[in-house]
Chain A
Amino acid sequence: MIASLRTNWIILKTSVEERLVYRGDFVFATLIRFLPIVTQIFLWGAIYGIHTSSPVKSIKSYSYHEMVAYYLLVMVGRAFSSMPGLANGIANDVRDGTIKKYLIQPIDMLGYLFWARMAHKLVYYLVALGPFILVFYLCRHYFEGWPDAFTITAWILSLMMAFLVGFLIESLIGLIAFWFLEVSSLIFIYMMLNYFLSGHMIPLDLFPEPLSSWMQMLPFKYLAYFPGTVILGKYSHQELIFELSIEVVWIVILFSLNRIAFHRGIRRYSAFGG
């Protein structure tokens, strides 16, 4: 137990070091990610007509300020849940045989990738924390004060679980490479679906019924929509507990699916490829 914790710690540390090798590229990529939020602010300003004589008061319970706040919070949520290159990385490892390394060494591939990803995220937060604080400070007038401690705790939990849900969904897609070697078009489809199913494009409750309710039954909303709306006070305390519990159930389901897919995939790989 302690030995495996140590191993994970070293994986984490080594991955952080690796991440810092190309620091210039990394810092630049991190900063450029703040650009879309500026366009969102202008776009929604135009939709609400804030510079006209009769601005729209609200769209489906979202005021203009809430809408901008939603996008800012979604940005935070996605900082936890987005996993650039994870599915592709797994698929490439399967295709070019790098996966052998994980089968020969006494190490669990998914665990290894998890800690490596954790390292990537930690380095990302380190670089992005300053810019995030600056952006939120500049945009502070879009928020209506601080929510209560319970909501903030729920929000932090929702972010951590967004990381888990994001990791598990992407790795599951990557594992499909055991059956179909070429998964890049599949990953593209997933990214497109994810864009609106997670609430990254617009809040899920802006979609018409029953589409909106259906979308909220899927795990994707935990990637952006849920962590985005917690702080906006869209949930009562009881609803928060309920939502977080459902999220835990999703994590258990996705985790099991990953294990099954990995196990079957390796069996198939060992039988056909290698």
Chain B
Amino acid sequence: MNAIVVKNLEKTYKVYQKKEGVFASLKGLWRRDHKTVHAVSDVSFSIGQGEIVAFLGPNGAGKTTTLKLLSGLIFPSAGEATVLGYVPWKRENEYRRRFSLVMGQKNQLWWDLPAQESFRLHKEIYRIDPQQYTRRLDELTSLLEVRHLIGQPVRELSLGERMRMELIAALLHKPDVLLLDEPTIGLDVVSQRRVQEFLKYYQVEQKTTVVLTSHYMKDVEALCKRAIIINQGRIKHDGPLSDILDRFSNYKIMDVQFDGDDMPRDFSQWGEVIECEAPHVKLKVPRNKIPEILTNLLSRYRILDVGVQERPLEEVIAEVFTEQKNEAAHSQNEKDMLHSTTD
């Protein structure tokens, strides 16, 4: 069964274009140039119950806009979506009791009060059964190792501790759908890993449907099997994380250890040199040429060790984004000229 179904979702904004300078600002008082921004265009996907999916894309790709649509914060310009059978932007209370949105850069907790006060308020707002509340709070605080901190004012907590408290607040009512927007932003490596481990454990345990956006590929690799890549408001890829490498990476990394100084002077015929410290060389080679190159090298030189690896996911995705950005920059320039409107 699908928990989230999105069909041809679109969201366009009109943005006021402010020109530089005082004169332009004065002009802006009665005449404003607007530009239409397609934050999300024709996005369709569905997510099964209990699935955990990553939304990947550079800044401004439309990830957060999609999450905002799913949590009912904004209306779409066109298209439909249902989450747990509800239309999110109708904002029914029954729906609001069944999902949570955690934004890494926003907090929901009362700043000057201990987190437990905020939790108690959530208990009432979400109508959580008292016994269940105690049990869940106990479980979550011990899993996230913050039990000793719930009596301390939130403003005195570190960023990592605060984020874990935010997660608890978001999970107390046992949401069926959890939307996470950059949950580990700004956290140190230890806190990041703790949040990852917790989310992984929690998701398996509770079968919660999770949609996650993150810039840290480590988060994504640790948590998700499936990824949706979104760029310029459009879906570029939807499928297993491992497919991204097959699809977008035409290269592999090859590590060769030669025996002594008997090695080629020039590698350009095989691939791009990443690192060369004789007798060891690291090459970026086209995927389909690997057997050929290996045979070639082995027949001509004495080789002690060879290793072939995938390139880091992070690098591949960054490459996909830059390529698309360059492509898009051209067409967007032309579009802008046509679209720029004046009210």
Residue numbers of A with Cβ under 8 A of B are: 3, 6-7, 10-11, 14, 17-18, 21-22, 97-98, 100-101, 103-107, 267, 269-274
A273 to B15: give the CA distance in the assembly, Å: 10
Q: Which B92-123 residues have C-beta < 8 A from chain A?
A: 93, 96-97, 100-101, 103, 106, 108, 110, 112-113, 117-118, 120-123
Q: What are the 4 A-B residue pairs with the smallest beta carbon separation, nearest first?
A: A274-B74, A106-B96, A106-B93, A7-B124
Determine if B136 is an interface residue (Cβ-Cβ < 8 Å).
no
Task: Say how far A273's CB is from chain B's closest CB, in angstroms.
Answer: 8
Chain B interface secondary structure, helix, strand, loop or mixed?
mixed
Pull 21 A–B residue pairs with CB atoms less than 8 Å apart, ordered by A: A3-B124, A3-B127, A10-B121, A14-B110, A14-B118, A14-B121, A18-B110, A18-B117, A21-B112, A104-B71, A104-B72, A104-B73, A104-B96, A105-B96, A105-B125, A105-B126, A106-B125, A106-B126, A271-B74, A272-B13, A274-B74
Does B215 sit at the interface, judged by CB under 8 A?
A: no
With known contacts A7-B124, A274-B74, A18–B96 Cβ distance under 8 A = no
Knowing A105-B96, A106-B96, say if A270 contacts B74 (CB, 8 Å): yes
Interface assignment of B86: CB less than 8 Å from any CB of chain A:
no
Q: Are A17 and B113 in contact (CB under 8 A)?
A: yes
Interface residues of B in 80-95 (CB under 8 A from A): 89, 91, 93
Contact A11 B110, CB 8 Å, known A3-B127, A272-B14, A274-B68: no
B89 touches A18 (CB 8 A): no
Residues of A within 8 A of B123 (CB): 10
Which A residues lie within 8 Å of B73 (CB)?
Answer: 100, 103-104, 270, 274
Which of B68, B113, B127 contacts A14, CB < 8 Å? B113
Q: Which residues of B contact A18 (CB under 8 A)?
A: 110, 112-113, 117
Q: Taking the nearest CB of chain A, how far is it from the CB of B97, in angstroms?
A: 5
Residues of B within 8 A of A272 (CB): 13-14
Q: Which residues of A contact B93 (CB under 8 A)?
A: 106
Does chain A have a CB within 8 A of B133?
no
Decide if B270 is an interface residue (CB 8 Å cutoff).
no
B308 CB, nearest partner CB in chain A, Å: 46
Report the minimal beta-carbon distance from A194 to chain B, rounded to whole angstroms: 28
B75 touches A271 (CB 8 A): yes
The smallest C-beta distance from B86 to any residue of chain A, in angstroms, reads 12
Point out the residue from A17, A21, A103, A271 that lies within 8 Å of B91, measured CB to CB. Answer: A103
> In the complex, given contacts A17-B113, A104-B73, A105-B126, what are 7 additional A-B residue pairs having Cβ atoms less than 8 angstroms apart?
A11-B121, A17-B117, A101-B108, A107-B125, A270-B73, A272-B14, A274-B68
Give the Cβ gap from A11 to chain B, nearest Cβ, in Å: 7
Closest chain-A Cβ to B112's Cβ sits at a distance in Å of 4
Nearest-CB distance from A25 to chain B (Å)? 12
Give Cα A105–Cα B124 distance, bound, in whole angstroms: 11
**Number of residues on chain B facing chain A (CB within 8 A):** 33
In the assembled complex, which residues on chain B have CB atoms less than 8 Å from the CB atom of A274? 65, 68, 73-74
Q: From residue A28, how far is it (CB to closest CB) to chain B in Å?
A: 17
Shortest distance from the beta carbon of A82 to any chain B beta carbon, whole Å: 22
Q: Provide the bound-state CA to CA distance between A11 and B121, in Å.
A: 7
Complex Cα gap A166–B167 (Å): 37
Closest residue on chain B to residue A266 by CB atoms: B91
A101→B72 CA distance, assembly (Å): 12
Q: Select from chain B the residue with minimum beta-carbon distance to A15.
A: B110
Contacts known (A7-B124, A271-B74); A14 close to B117, Cβ less than 8 A? yes
Bound-state Cα–Cα, A269 to B124, Å:
27
Chain A residues near B68: list those with CB within 8 A. 274
- A269 vs B74: C-alpha distance when bound (angstroms): 7
Contact partners of A103 in chain B: CB under 8 A: 72-73, 91
Chain A residues with Cβ under 8 A from B91's Cβ? 103
Contacts of A267 in B (CB 8 A): 75
CB 8 Å contact bits of B151-180 with A (1 = contact, 0 = none): 001000000000000000000000000000
Contacts A10-B120, A274-B73 given; does A104 touch B110 at CB 8 Å:
no
Residues of A within 8 A of B71 (CB): 104
What distance in Å separates the Cβ of A265 from its nearest Cβ neighbour in chain B? 13
Q: How far is the CA of A103 from the CA of B89 in the complex (A)?
A: 10
Specify which chain A residues have a CB less than 8 angstroms from the CB of B108 in the assembled complex: 101, 105
CA distance A213 to B108 in the complex (A): 47
B96 / chain A contacts, CB cutoff of 8 Å: 104-106
**Complex Cα–Cα for A23 and B112 (A):** 12
List of A residues within 8 angstroms of B97 by Cβ: 106
Most chain B CB within a 10 A radius of its CB, from A6, A22, A274: A274
**A107: B residues at CB distance < 8 A:** 125
Indicate if the CB atoms of B124 and A270 lie closer than 8 Å.
Answer: no
- B115 CB → nearest A CB, Å: 12
Determine the distance from Cα of A22 to Cα of B155 in the docked complex, in whole angstroms.
13
Residue of B nearest to A98 (CB): B106
Specify which chain B residues have a CB less than 8 angstroms from the CB of A97 in the assembled complex.
106
Which A residues are in CB contact (< 8 Å) with B117?
14, 17-18
Q: Mark B28-70, 1 if CB is under 8 A from A, else 0.
A: 0000000000000000000000000000000000000100100
CB proximity of A237 to chain B, nearest CB, Å: 43
Q: How far is A251 from B111 in the complex, measured between Cα atoms in Å? A: 33
The CA of A269 and the CA of B91, in the complex, are separated in Å by: 14
Query: Inside 8 A of B121's CB, which chain A residues have their CB?
Result: 10-11, 14
Residues on A with C-beta less than 8 A from B103 are 100
**CB-based contact B89/A270 at 8 Å:** yes
* Residues of B close to A21: CB separation below 8 A: 112-113, 153
B97, B113, B125: residue with the most chain A Cβ atoms closer than 10 Å: B125
> How far is it, in angstroms, between the C-alpha of A127 and the C-alpha of B204 when the chains are bound?
51
Q: For the complex, what is the distance from the CA of A17 to the CA of B111, rounded to whole Å? A: 12
